[in-house]
Structure 1
Amino acid sequence: MRLVSTVGFTLIAAMLAGCVTAPASTSATAPVAPSHLDTVQAAATLRICTPGDYKPFSFQKADGSYEGIDVDLMNGFAASLGAKPAWVKTTWANLLPDLAAGKCDMAVGGVSVTTDRQKKAFFSAPYMVNGKTPIARCADVAKYTSVAAIDQPGTRVIFNPGGSNERFARANFKRAQMTLHGENITIFDEILAGRADVFVTEAAEALTQQKLKPGLCAVNPDKPLQYGEMGWMLPRDDVAFKAYVDQWLHLNQAGGDFQRTMDRWLK
Protein backbone atom coordinates (compact mmCIF):
# COMPACT_ATOMS: atom_id res chain seq x y z
CA MET A 1 0.00 0.00 0.00
CA ARG A 2 1.47 3.38 -1.06
CA LEU A 3 1.48 6.15 1.46
CA VAL A 4 0.79 9.74 0.44
CA SER A 5 3.81 11.96 1.14
CA THR A 6 3.55 14.82 3.59
CA VAL A 7 3.81 17.31 0.74
CA GLY A 8 1.15 15.43 -1.21
CA PHE A 9 -1.14 15.23 1.81
CA THR A 10 -0.76 18.95 2.43
CA LEU A 11 -1.62 19.66 -1.22
CA ILE A 12 -4.70 17.43 -1.10
CA ALA A 13 -5.81 19.01 2.17
CA ALA A 14 -5.49 22.46 0.67
CA MET A 15 -7.51 21.42 -2.39
CA LEU A 16 -10.24 19.94 -0.21
CA ALA A 17 -10.33 23.05 1.90
CA GLY A 18 -10.72 25.09 -1.25
CA CYS A 19 -13.60 22.88 -2.36
CA VAL A 20 -15.32 23.34 0.97
CA THR A 21 -14.90 27.08 1.17
CA ALA A 22 -15.57 27.90 -2.51
CA PRO A 23 -19.39 27.95 -2.24
CA ALA A 24 -19.14 30.60 0.47
CA SER A 25 -18.05 33.10 -2.18
CA THR A 26 -21.47 32.76 -3.88
CA SER A 27 -23.41 33.55 -0.73
CA ALA A 28 -23.00 37.27 -1.33
CA THR A 29 -24.90 37.20 -4.63
CA ALA A 30 -28.22 39.03 -4.86
CA PRO A 31 -31.25 37.01 -3.70
CA VAL A 32 -33.39 35.47 -6.42
CA ALA A 33 -36.71 37.28 -6.90
CA PRO A 34 -39.74 35.14 -6.04
CA SER A 35 -41.66 33.70 -8.96
CA HIS A 36 -45.06 35.10 -9.86
CA LEU A 37 -46.22 31.53 -9.33
CA ASP A 38 -45.64 32.12 -5.61
CA THR A 39 -46.64 35.77 -5.30
CA VAL A 40 -49.96 35.31 -7.10
CA GLN A 41 -50.91 32.44 -4.81
CA ALA A 42 -49.85 34.37 -1.72
CA ALA A 43 -51.87 37.43 -2.74
CA ALA A 44 -54.79 35.35 -4.09
CA THR A 45 -54.92 37.91 -6.92
CA LEU A 46 -53.80 37.62 -10.54
CA ARG A 47 -53.16 41.06 -12.07
CA ILE A 48 -53.82 41.01 -15.82
CA CYS A 49 -52.97 43.84 -18.21
CA THR A 50 -55.22 44.19 -21.25
CA PRO A 51 -56.21 46.98 -23.65
CA GLY A 52 -59.78 45.65 -23.57
CA ASP A 53 -60.60 46.83 -27.09
CA TYR A 54 -60.11 43.68 -29.11
CA LYS A 55 -63.09 41.45 -29.79
CA PRO A 56 -63.35 38.49 -29.42
CA PHE A 57 -60.34 38.26 -27.08
CA SER A 58 -60.81 40.99 -24.47
CA PHE A 59 -63.37 43.76 -24.50
CA GLN A 60 -64.31 46.19 -21.74
CA LYS A 61 -68.05 46.70 -21.55
CA ALA A 62 -69.84 49.91 -20.58
CA ASP A 63 -70.15 48.78 -16.96
CA GLY A 64 -66.35 48.35 -16.72
CA SER A 65 -66.37 44.55 -16.74
CA TYR A 66 -64.55 42.48 -19.37
CA GLU A 67 -65.62 39.71 -21.72
CA GLY A 68 -64.02 37.56 -24.41
CA ILE A 69 -61.91 34.48 -25.08
CA ASP A 70 -58.97 35.55 -22.94
CA VAL A 71 -61.25 36.77 -20.17
CA ASP A 72 -62.90 33.35 -19.88
CA LEU A 73 -59.54 31.58 -20.01
CA MET A 74 -58.04 33.88 -17.37
CA ASN A 75 -60.94 33.20 -15.03
CA GLY A 76 -60.07 29.50 -15.16
CA PHE A 77 -56.33 30.08 -14.97
CA ALA A 78 -56.62 32.36 -11.94
CA ALA A 79 -58.84 29.81 -10.20
CA SER A 80 -56.16 27.15 -10.68
CA LEU A 81 -53.88 29.31 -8.50
CA GLY A 82 -56.53 29.98 -5.89
CA ALA A 83 -56.68 33.58 -7.08
CA LYS A 84 -59.14 36.06 -8.56
CA PRO A 85 -58.41 38.05 -11.72
CA ALA A 86 -57.79 41.79 -11.31
CA TRP A 87 -57.90 43.55 -14.67
CA VAL A 88 -55.43 46.36 -15.31
CA LYS A 89 -56.53 48.64 -18.16
CA THR A 90 -53.74 49.63 -20.54
CA THR A 91 -53.14 50.46 -24.21
CA TRP A 92 -51.35 48.58 -26.95
CA ALA A 93 -48.48 51.06 -26.82
CA ASN A 94 -48.12 50.57 -23.04
CA LEU A 95 -48.85 46.86 -22.83
CA LEU A 96 -45.22 45.70 -22.78
CA PRO A 97 -43.91 48.63 -20.67
CA ASP A 98 -46.64 48.05 -18.05
CA LEU A 99 -45.79 44.35 -17.84
CA ALA A 100 -42.06 45.09 -17.60
CA ALA A 101 -42.71 47.67 -14.87
CA GLY A 102 -44.48 45.07 -12.73
CA LYS A 103 -47.94 46.59 -12.97
CA CYS A 104 -49.36 43.15 -13.79
CA ASP A 105 -48.46 39.47 -13.68
CA MET A 106 -49.30 38.80 -17.33
CA ALA A 107 -50.71 40.54 -20.40
CA VAL A 108 -53.51 39.18 -22.60
CA GLY A 109 -56.17 40.23 -25.05
CA GLY A 110 -55.21 39.03 -28.52
CA VAL A 111 -51.46 39.61 -28.22
CA SER A 112 -49.44 38.65 -31.29
CA VAL A 113 -46.21 36.78 -30.66
CA THR A 114 -43.37 38.83 -32.15
CA THR A 115 -39.60 38.70 -31.86
CA ASP A 116 -39.53 42.37 -30.81
CA ARG A 117 -41.76 41.60 -27.82
CA GLN A 118 -39.86 38.38 -27.15
CA LYS A 119 -36.71 40.43 -26.50
CA LYS A 120 -38.31 41.93 -23.39
CA ALA A 121 -40.84 39.35 -22.25
CA PHE A 122 -41.66 35.65 -22.23
CA PHE A 123 -44.63 34.26 -24.13
CA SER A 124 -46.82 31.32 -23.29
CA ALA A 125 -47.03 28.55 -25.82
CA PRO A 126 -49.10 29.98 -28.69
CA TYR A 127 -52.77 29.10 -28.43
CA MET A 128 -53.95 30.30 -31.84
CA VAL A 129 -52.67 30.75 -35.39
CA ASN A 130 -54.18 34.07 -36.41
CA GLY A 131 -52.64 35.82 -39.41
CA LYS A 132 -53.09 39.36 -40.72
CA THR A 133 -56.32 39.74 -42.69
CA PRO A 134 -57.89 42.80 -44.38
CA ILE A 135 -61.42 43.90 -43.59
CA ALA A 136 -63.26 46.23 -45.95
CA ARG A 137 -66.71 47.13 -47.21
CA CYS A 138 -68.20 43.99 -48.72
CA ALA A 139 -68.54 45.63 -52.13
CA ASP A 140 -64.77 46.23 -52.20
CA VAL A 141 -63.49 42.82 -51.11
CA ALA A 142 -62.12 41.94 -54.55
CA LYS A 143 -59.92 45.08 -54.50
CA TYR A 144 -57.90 44.13 -51.41
CA THR A 145 -56.81 40.52 -51.77
CA SER A 146 -53.05 41.15 -51.47
CA VAL A 147 -50.53 43.59 -50.02
CA ALA A 148 -49.77 44.90 -53.52
CA ALA A 149 -53.44 45.44 -54.28
CA ILE A 150 -53.93 47.40 -51.05
CA ASP A 151 -50.75 49.44 -51.44
CA GLN A 152 -52.08 51.79 -54.11
CA PRO A 153 -52.19 55.62 -54.05
CA GLY A 154 -55.98 55.66 -54.05
CA THR A 155 -56.39 53.26 -51.10
CA ARG A 156 -57.07 54.72 -47.66
CA VAL A 157 -55.53 52.37 -45.09
CA ILE A 158 -56.48 52.88 -41.45
CA PHE A 159 -54.65 51.33 -38.48
CA ASN A 160 -54.51 51.51 -34.69
CA PRO A 161 -51.37 52.54 -32.77
CA GLY A 162 -48.88 50.65 -30.67
CA GLY A 163 -49.26 47.02 -31.72
CA SER A 164 -48.55 44.58 -34.51
CA ASN A 165 -51.27 46.11 -36.73
CA GLU A 166 -49.36 49.40 -36.88
CA ARG A 167 -46.06 47.64 -37.50
CA PHE A 168 -47.58 45.61 -40.34
CA ALA A 169 -49.16 48.67 -41.96
CA ARG A 170 -46.01 50.79 -41.80
CA ALA A 171 -43.79 47.96 -43.03
CA ASN A 172 -45.95 46.97 -45.99
CA PHE A 173 -47.83 50.01 -47.26
CA LYS A 174 -45.63 52.69 -48.84
CA ARG A 175 -47.94 54.17 -51.51
CA ALA A 176 -51.37 53.98 -49.88
CA GLN A 177 -52.88 56.86 -47.91
CA MET A 178 -52.23 56.04 -44.24
CA THR A 179 -54.40 57.12 -41.30
CA LEU A 180 -53.52 56.44 -37.67
CA HIS A 181 -56.76 56.05 -35.70
CA GLY A 182 -56.50 56.16 -31.91
CA GLU A 183 -59.42 53.87 -31.03
CA ASN A 184 -59.44 50.29 -32.21
CA ILE A 185 -63.14 50.01 -31.37
CA THR A 186 -64.27 52.69 -33.83
CA ILE A 187 -61.96 51.86 -36.74
CA PHE A 188 -64.63 49.67 -38.29
CA ASP A 189 -67.18 52.49 -38.23
CA GLU A 190 -64.71 54.66 -40.18
CA ILE A 191 -64.70 52.09 -42.99
CA LEU A 192 -68.49 51.77 -42.99
CA ALA A 193 -68.82 55.56 -43.11
CA GLY A 194 -66.56 55.74 -46.15
CA ARG A 195 -63.77 57.67 -44.45
CA ALA A 196 -61.36 54.75 -44.83
CA ASP A 197 -61.19 51.75 -47.15
CA VAL A 198 -59.35 48.90 -45.43
CA PHE A 199 -57.96 47.83 -42.07
CA VAL A 200 -55.54 44.91 -41.67
CA THR A 201 -55.92 43.03 -38.39
CA GLU A 202 -55.96 39.41 -37.23
CA ALA A 203 -58.34 36.98 -38.90
CA ALA A 204 -60.32 36.32 -35.71
CA GLU A 205 -61.08 40.01 -35.22
CA ALA A 206 -61.97 40.48 -38.88
CA LEU A 207 -64.40 37.55 -38.71
CA THR A 208 -65.92 38.82 -35.47
CA GLN A 209 -66.42 42.35 -36.78
CA GLN A 210 -68.05 41.22 -40.03
CA LYS A 211 -70.73 39.60 -37.87
CA LEU A 212 -71.10 42.68 -35.69
CA LYS A 213 -70.96 45.25 -38.49
CA PRO A 214 -73.19 44.37 -41.48
CA GLY A 215 -71.62 45.72 -44.63
CA LEU A 216 -68.06 44.79 -43.63
CA CYS A 217 -66.38 41.61 -44.85
CA ALA A 218 -63.13 39.84 -43.96
CA VAL A 219 -60.97 39.35 -47.04
CA ASN A 220 -59.84 35.73 -47.45
CA PRO A 221 -59.45 35.08 -43.70
CA ASP A 222 -58.39 31.50 -44.43
CA LYS A 223 -55.44 32.84 -46.47
CA PRO A 224 -53.95 35.64 -44.35
CA LEU A 225 -51.45 38.15 -45.69
CA GLN A 226 -48.96 37.22 -42.98
CA TYR A 227 -48.64 34.22 -40.68
CA GLY A 228 -49.20 35.03 -37.03
CA GLU A 229 -49.54 33.39 -33.62
CA MET A 230 -51.16 34.58 -30.42
CA GLY A 231 -50.09 33.95 -26.85
CA TRP A 232 -50.05 35.45 -23.38
CA MET A 233 -47.17 37.77 -22.53
CA LEU A 234 -45.32 36.90 -19.31
CA PRO A 235 -42.56 38.50 -17.23
CA ARG A 236 -39.14 37.82 -18.66
CA ASP A 237 -36.89 35.27 -16.90
CA ASP A 238 -39.67 33.84 -14.70
CA VAL A 239 -39.17 30.26 -15.86
CA ALA A 240 -41.31 28.68 -13.13
CA PHE A 241 -44.32 30.85 -13.95
CA LYS A 242 -44.03 30.22 -17.69
CA ALA A 243 -43.78 26.48 -17.11
CA TYR A 244 -46.98 26.55 -15.03
CA VAL A 245 -48.83 28.70 -17.59
CA ASP A 246 -47.84 26.38 -20.45
CA GLN A 247 -48.84 23.24 -18.54
CA TRP A 248 -52.20 24.71 -17.54
CA LEU A 249 -52.86 25.72 -21.16
CA HIS A 250 -51.85 22.27 -22.41
CA LEU A 251 -54.19 20.50 -19.99
CA ASN A 252 -57.01 22.93 -20.76
CA GLN A 253 -56.62 22.19 -24.48
CA ALA A 254 -56.29 18.42 -24.03
CA GLY A 255 -59.33 18.28 -21.77
CA GLY A 256 -61.58 20.13 -24.22
CA ASP A 257 -62.35 23.22 -22.11
CA PHE A 258 -60.19 25.41 -24.35
CA GLN A 259 -62.06 24.43 -27.51
CA ARG A 260 -65.41 24.97 -25.82
CA THR A 261 -64.31 28.50 -24.94
CA MET A 262 -63.19 29.15 -28.51
CA ASP A 263 -66.43 27.80 -29.95
CA ARG A 264 -68.47 30.00 -27.61
CA TRP A 265 -66.89 33.13 -29.09
CA LEU A 266 -66.01 32.19 -32.66
CA LYS A 267 -68.98 30.11 -33.80
Structure 2
Amino acid sequence: MLLRRRHACLLPLALPVAGAWGDDKAPLSIGWSDYPPFQFRNAAGPLQGMDVELLELMAQACGERLRWSRRPWARQIPDIAQGELDLMSSATHTPERLAFGDFTQAYRNERVALLGLVGAAQPPRRLADLKGRAVKVGMIRGVSFPQAVRRELDDPGLTGLLVPLHANDLTLSALRGRRVDYVIDDPATLLYRAAREPGEAVEVVLELAVSPVHVYVSRRTIERRPDLMQRLNAGLQRARQQPEWHRVLARYAAD
Protein backbone atom coordinates (compact mmCIF):
# COMPACT_ATOMS: atom_id res chain seq x y z
CA MET A 1 0.00 0.00 0.00
CA LEU A 2 1.39 3.39 -0.96
CA LEU A 3 1.01 5.78 1.92
CA ARG A 4 1.02 9.55 2.10
CA ARG A 5 2.05 11.26 5.30
CA ARG A 6 -0.09 14.31 4.63
CA HIS A 7 -3.13 12.16 5.41
CA ALA A 8 -1.89 11.58 8.95
CA CYS A 9 -4.05 12.86 11.74
CA LEU A 10 -3.26 13.51 15.36
CA LEU A 11 -4.16 10.75 17.76
CA PRO A 12 -4.00 11.20 21.53
CA LEU A 13 -2.42 8.31 23.33
CA ALA A 14 -5.29 8.10 25.80
CA LEU A 15 -8.40 7.29 23.82
CA PRO A 16 -11.96 6.63 25.03
CA VAL A 17 -12.54 2.97 25.67
CA ALA A 18 -15.73 1.01 25.40
CA GLY A 19 -15.98 -0.74 28.73
CA ALA A 20 -14.06 -0.25 31.93
CA TRP A 21 -10.61 -1.70 32.63
CA GLY A 22 -9.85 -3.55 35.80
CA ASP A 23 -7.83 -1.50 38.25
CA ASP A 24 -5.27 -4.30 38.49
CA LYS A 25 -4.61 -4.52 34.73
CA ALA A 26 -1.38 -2.71 33.92
CA PRO A 27 -0.95 -1.14 30.47
CA LEU A 28 0.95 -3.18 27.90
CA SER A 29 4.23 -1.56 26.97
CA ILE A 30 4.78 -1.33 23.22
CA GLY A 31 7.79 0.05 21.39
CA TRP A 32 7.77 2.76 18.76
CA SER A 33 10.42 4.49 16.69
CA ASP A 34 10.48 7.36 14.24
CA TYR A 35 8.97 5.49 11.29
CA PRO A 36 6.41 7.68 9.55
CA PRO A 37 3.71 7.30 8.41
CA PHE A 38 3.34 4.29 10.71
CA GLN A 39 4.75 5.73 13.95
CA PHE A 40 5.98 9.27 14.49
CA ARG A 41 5.70 12.37 16.63
CA ASN A 42 5.97 15.93 15.38
CA ALA A 43 7.46 18.62 17.59
CA ALA A 44 5.31 19.10 20.69
CA GLY A 45 2.62 16.89 19.19
CA PRO A 46 1.09 13.59 20.26
CA LEU A 47 2.25 10.24 18.94
CA GLN A 48 0.51 9.39 15.67
CA GLY A 49 0.61 7.15 12.63
CA MET A 50 -1.15 4.19 11.09
CA ASP A 51 0.25 1.61 13.54
CA VAL A 52 -0.61 3.79 16.51
CA GLU A 53 -4.19 4.31 15.39
CA LEU A 54 -4.87 0.70 14.37
CA LEU A 55 -3.36 -0.83 17.49
CA GLU A 56 -5.14 1.59 19.79
CA LEU A 57 -8.38 0.40 18.14
CA MET A 58 -7.31 -3.21 18.77
CA ALA A 59 -6.54 -2.43 22.41
CA GLN A 60 -9.88 -0.72 22.93
CA ALA A 61 -11.70 -3.67 21.39
CA CYS A 62 -10.18 -6.14 23.85
CA GLY A 63 -10.15 -3.92 26.95
CA GLU A 64 -6.40 -3.33 27.11
CA ARG A 65 -4.32 -0.17 27.45
CA LEU A 66 -1.11 0.55 25.58
CA ARG A 67 1.89 2.48 26.92
CA TRP A 68 4.02 3.56 23.96
CA SER A 69 7.76 3.59 24.68
CA ARG A 70 10.20 5.17 22.25
CA ARG A 71 13.32 3.16 21.45
CA PRO A 72 15.36 2.30 18.34
CA TRP A 73 14.07 -0.59 16.26
CA ALA A 74 17.26 -2.59 16.82
CA ARG A 75 16.71 -2.40 20.57
CA GLN A 76 13.10 -3.56 20.51
CA ILE A 77 13.79 -7.25 19.78
CA PRO A 78 16.24 -7.63 22.72
CA ASP A 79 13.76 -5.79 24.95
CA ILE A 80 10.98 -8.18 23.89
CA ALA A 81 13.28 -11.13 24.67
CA GLN A 82 14.07 -9.73 28.13
CA GLY A 83 10.45 -8.84 28.85
CA GLU A 84 11.20 -5.12 29.05
CA LEU A 85 8.61 -4.62 26.31
CA ASP A 86 5.34 -6.51 26.12
CA LEU A 87 4.58 -5.78 22.48
CA MET A 88 6.26 -4.72 19.27
CA SER A 89 4.38 -3.47 16.22
CA SER A 90 5.08 -3.90 12.50
CA ALA A 91 6.86 -7.23 13.09
CA THR A 92 7.64 -9.75 10.35
CA HIS A 93 7.05 -13.38 11.33
CA THR A 94 10.29 -15.38 11.46
CA PRO A 95 10.99 -18.80 13.02
CA GLU A 96 13.90 -17.34 15.03
CA ARG A 97 11.67 -14.85 16.79
CA LEU A 98 9.35 -17.59 18.08
CA ALA A 99 12.00 -18.38 20.69
CA PHE A 100 11.25 -15.08 22.43
CA GLY A 101 7.60 -14.41 21.64
CA ASP A 102 4.59 -15.08 19.48
CA PHE A 103 2.74 -13.23 16.73
CA THR A 104 -0.83 -12.06 16.54
CA GLN A 105 -2.79 -12.29 13.35
CA ALA A 106 -1.52 -9.88 10.69
CA TYR A 107 -3.00 -6.41 10.92
CA ARG A 108 -1.62 -4.81 7.72
CA ASN A 109 0.76 -5.42 4.83
CA GLU A 110 4.15 -3.83 4.33
CA ARG A 111 6.13 -3.27 1.14
CA VAL A 112 9.82 -4.01 0.82
CA ALA A 113 11.77 -2.27 -1.93
CA LEU A 114 15.23 -1.22 -3.05
CA LEU A 115 15.42 2.58 -3.15
CA GLY A 116 18.00 4.99 -4.48
CA LEU A 117 18.51 8.56 -5.59
CA VAL A 118 16.69 9.57 -8.75
CA GLY A 119 18.88 9.28 -11.82
CA ALA A 120 21.34 6.70 -10.49
CA ALA A 121 23.13 4.84 -13.28
CA GLN A 122 22.40 1.23 -14.23
CA PRO A 123 19.39 0.44 -12.03
CA PRO A 124 19.29 -3.32 -11.30
CA ARG A 125 16.43 -5.48 -12.56
CA ARG A 126 16.92 -7.85 -9.63
CA LEU A 127 19.05 -7.88 -6.49
CA ALA A 128 21.49 -10.36 -8.02
CA ASP A 129 22.45 -7.68 -10.58
CA LEU A 130 24.24 -5.82 -7.76
CA LYS A 131 26.76 -8.62 -7.28
CA GLY A 132 30.24 -7.58 -8.36
CA ARG A 133 29.39 -3.88 -8.34
CA ALA A 134 31.19 -1.39 -6.11
CA VAL A 135 27.99 -0.40 -4.30
CA LYS A 136 26.73 -0.34 -0.70
CA VAL A 137 23.20 -1.26 0.32
CA GLY A 138 21.88 0.10 3.60
CA MET A 139 19.36 -1.72 5.78
CA ILE A 140 18.02 -0.90 9.22
CA ARG A 141 19.76 -2.96 11.87
CA GLY A 142 17.51 -5.58 13.47
CA VAL A 143 14.96 -5.67 10.63
CA SER A 144 13.82 -9.04 9.28
CA PHE A 145 12.68 -9.26 5.69
CA PRO A 146 10.26 -11.76 4.10
CA GLN A 147 11.80 -15.15 3.43
CA ALA A 148 12.20 -14.64 -0.32
CA VAL A 149 14.18 -11.42 0.24
CA ARG A 150 16.24 -12.94 3.04
CA ARG A 151 17.16 -15.85 0.80
CA GLU A 152 18.51 -13.47 -1.84
CA LEU A 153 20.43 -11.41 0.69
CA ASP A 154 22.07 -14.57 2.10
CA ASP A 155 23.97 -14.89 -1.18
CA PRO A 156 27.64 -14.18 -0.29
CA GLY A 157 27.86 -11.91 -3.32
CA LEU A 158 25.24 -9.63 -1.75
CA THR A 159 26.02 -10.05 1.94
CA GLY A 160 29.27 -8.16 1.56
CA LEU A 161 27.44 -5.15 0.13
CA LEU A 162 25.12 -4.69 3.12
CA VAL A 163 25.65 -1.77 5.52
CA PRO A 164 23.69 -1.77 8.81
CA LEU A 165 22.03 1.55 9.68
CA HIS A 166 21.31 2.00 13.36
CA ALA A 167 18.02 3.91 13.19
CA ASN A 168 15.09 4.39 10.84
CA ASP A 169 15.80 8.09 10.34
CA LEU A 170 19.33 7.46 8.99
CA THR A 171 18.24 5.93 5.68
CA LEU A 172 17.68 9.22 3.89
CA SER A 173 20.83 10.93 5.18
CA ALA A 174 22.89 7.85 4.31
CA LEU A 175 21.61 7.95 0.72
CA ARG A 176 22.02 11.68 0.21
CA GLY A 177 25.39 11.66 1.94
CA ARG A 178 26.61 8.91 -0.45
CA ARG A 179 27.40 6.59 2.45
CA VAL A 180 25.24 4.01 0.72
CA ASP A 181 24.06 3.71 -2.89
CA TYR A 182 20.76 1.99 -2.12
CA VAL A 183 18.51 1.28 0.84
CA ILE A 184 16.18 -1.68 1.43
CA ASP A 185 13.12 -0.50 3.35
CA ASP A 186 9.39 0.06 3.17
CA PRO A 187 9.28 2.81 0.52
CA ALA A 188 6.43 4.67 2.23
CA THR A 189 8.62 5.98 5.04
CA LEU A 190 11.68 6.90 2.96
CA LEU A 191 9.66 8.63 0.24
CA TYR A 192 7.76 10.54 2.89
CA ARG A 193 10.96 11.86 4.44
CA ALA A 194 12.46 12.70 1.06
CA ALA A 195 9.39 14.73 0.08
CA ARG A 196 9.61 16.83 3.24
CA GLU A 197 13.35 17.32 3.74
CA PRO A 198 15.27 19.47 1.22
CA GLY A 199 17.63 17.55 -1.00
CA GLU A 200 17.83 15.09 -3.85
CA ALA A 201 14.76 13.09 -4.78
CA VAL A 202 14.47 9.38 -4.01
CA GLU A 203 12.75 6.70 -6.05
CA VAL A 204 11.84 3.03 -5.87
CA VAL A 205 14.41 1.18 -7.95
CA LEU A 206 13.08 -2.34 -7.44
CA GLU A 207 10.00 -3.73 -5.72
CA LEU A 208 11.02 -6.79 -3.69
CA ALA A 209 8.03 -8.05 -1.71
CA VAL A 210 4.75 -7.33 0.03
CA SER A 211 4.40 -9.11 3.35
CA PRO A 212 2.04 -9.16 6.34
CA VAL A 213 3.15 -7.63 9.63
CA HIS A 214 1.99 -8.56 13.11
CA VAL A 215 2.09 -7.53 16.73
CA TYR A 216 4.97 -9.43 18.34
CA VAL A 217 4.24 -10.42 21.94
CA SER A 218 6.98 -11.17 24.47
CA ARG A 219 7.12 -14.79 25.66
CA ARG A 220 7.59 -13.52 29.21
CA THR A 221 4.39 -11.51 28.95
CA ILE A 222 2.51 -14.54 27.62
CA GLU A 223 3.74 -16.62 30.55
CA ARG A 224 2.41 -13.95 32.91
CA ARG A 225 -0.88 -13.58 31.02
CA PRO A 226 -1.71 -16.85 29.21
CA ASP A 227 -4.96 -15.46 27.80
CA LEU A 228 -3.34 -12.44 26.16
CA MET A 229 -2.81 -13.84 22.66
CA GLN A 230 -6.43 -14.90 22.43
CA ARG A 231 -7.57 -11.49 23.70
CA LEU A 232 -5.41 -9.56 21.22
CA ASN A 233 -6.51 -11.66 18.25
CA ALA A 234 -10.16 -11.31 19.27
CA GLY A 235 -9.61 -7.56 19.61
CA LEU A 236 -8.10 -7.41 16.11
CA GLN A 237 -11.09 -9.23 14.66
CA ARG A 238 -13.55 -6.89 16.37
CA ALA A 239 -11.53 -3.77 15.49
CA ARG A 240 -11.42 -4.71 11.79
CA GLN A 241 -15.23 -4.70 11.75
CA GLN A 242 -15.40 -1.13 13.04
CA PRO A 243 -15.89 1.73 10.55
CA GLU A 244 -13.00 3.61 12.18
CA TRP A 245 -10.55 0.84 11.18
CA HIS A 246 -11.42 1.42 7.54
CA ARG A 247 -11.30 5.18 7.99
CA VAL A 248 -7.76 4.93 9.35
CA LEU A 249 -6.67 2.86 6.34
CA ALA A 250 -8.38 5.26 3.97
CA ARG A 251 -6.66 8.31 5.52
CA TYR A 252 -3.27 6.81 4.72
CA ALA A 253 -4.13 5.41 1.31
CA ALA A 254 -2.83 6.86 -1.93
CA ASP A 255 -4.90 9.41 -3.78
Q: Which residue of 1 is the match for residue 47 of structure 2?
A: 66
Two-structure CA RMSD over aligned residues (Å)? 3.0
> Which one of 189, 214, 217 corresponds to residue 173 of structure 2?
189
Match for 2:164: what amino acid? L
Structure 2 distance, partners of 1:135, 1:65, is 30
- Kindly tell me: are residues 172 and 206 of structure 1, through their superposed partners in 2, closer, same or farther at Cα, counting changes over 3 Å? farther
Q: Structure 2-normalised TM-score? A: 0.72
Q: Which residue of 2 is the match for residue 258 of structure 1?
A: 245
- Kindly tell me: are residues 87 and 145 of structure 1, through their superposed partners in 2, closer, same or farther at Cα, counting changes over 3 Å? same
Structure 1 distance, partners of 2:181, 2:171, is 10
Task: State which structure, 1 or 2, has the greater radius of gyration over its C-alpha atoms.
Answer: 1
Structure 2 distance, partners of 1:153, 1:163, is 24
Q: Which moved more, 1:121-130 or 1:249-258?
A: 249-258
Match for 2:183: what amino acid? F
Q: Where does 1:44-59 land on structure 2 (aligned, <5 Å)?
A: 45-59=26-40
- Kindly tell me: are residues 111 and 118 of structure 1, through their superposed partners in 2, closer, same or farther at Cα, counting changes over 3 Å? same
1:140 matches 2:123: no
CA contact (8 A) 2:102 2:216 kept: yes
> Which one of 193, 198, 202 corresponds to residue 216 of structure 1?
202
CA contact (8 A) 1:203 1:218 kept: yes
Q: Which residue of 2 is the match for residue 31 of structure 1?
A: none
Give the superposition deviation at 1:133. 0.9
Q: Which residue of 2 is the match for residue 106 of structure 1?
A: 87
CA contact (8 A) 1:78 1:84 kept: yes
Give the superposition deviation at 1:114. 1.7
Give the superposition deviation at 1:146. 1.4
Q: The residue matched to 1:143 in structure 2 has which SS?
A: coil
Count of equivalent residues: 223
Larger strand share, 1 or 2: 2
- Kindly tell me: are residues 218 and 184 of structure 1, through their superposed partners in 2, closer, same or farther at Cα, counting changes over 3 Å? same
Q: Where does 1:75-94 land on structure 2 (aligned, <5 Å)?
A: 75-82=56-63, 84-94=65-75
Match for 1:242: what amino acid? M
CA contact (8 A) 1:45 1:86 kept: no
CA contact (8 A) 1:210 1:218 kept: no
Give the superposition deviation at 1:83. 5.1
Q: Where does 1:28-43 land on structure 2 (aligned, <5 Å)?
A: 41-43=22-24
CA contact (8 A) 1:53 1:185 kept: yes
Q: Structure 1-normalised TM-score? A: 0.69
Structure 2 distance, partners of 1:77, 1:113, is 19
Larger RCO, structures 1/2 (Cα 8 Å, 6+ apart): 2
- Kindly tell me: are residues 71 and 227 of structure 1, through their superposed partners in 2, closer, same or farther at Cα, counting changes over 3 Å? closer
Match for 1:218: what amino acid? V
Give the superposition deviation at 1:206. 4.8
- Kindly tell me: are residues 172 and 133 of structure 1, through their superposed partners in 2, closer, same or farther at Cα, counting changes over 3 Å? farther
Q: The residue matched to 2:174 in structure 1 has which SS?
A: helix
Give the superposition deviation at 1:247. 1.8
Q: Where does 1:8-19 land on structure 2 (aligned, <5 Å)?
A: none
1:160 matches 2:140: yes
Structure 2 distance, partners of 1:181, 1:174, is 20
CA contact (8 A) 1:43 1:83 kept: no
Q: The residue matched to 1:104 in structure 2 has which SS?
A: coil
Q: Which residue of 2 is the match for residue 7 of structure 1?
A: none
> Which one of 195, 200, 211 corresponds to residue 228 of structure 1?
211
CA contact (8 A) 1:53 1:184 kept: yes
Match for 1:216: what amino acid? V
CA contact (8 A) 1:52 1:58 kept: yes
Structure 2 distance, partners of 1:177, 1:151, is 8
1:187-232 Cα deviation digits (max 9, x unpaired): 1122123332111113543554454466111235xxx424532010
Structure 1 unaligned spans of 5+: 1-39
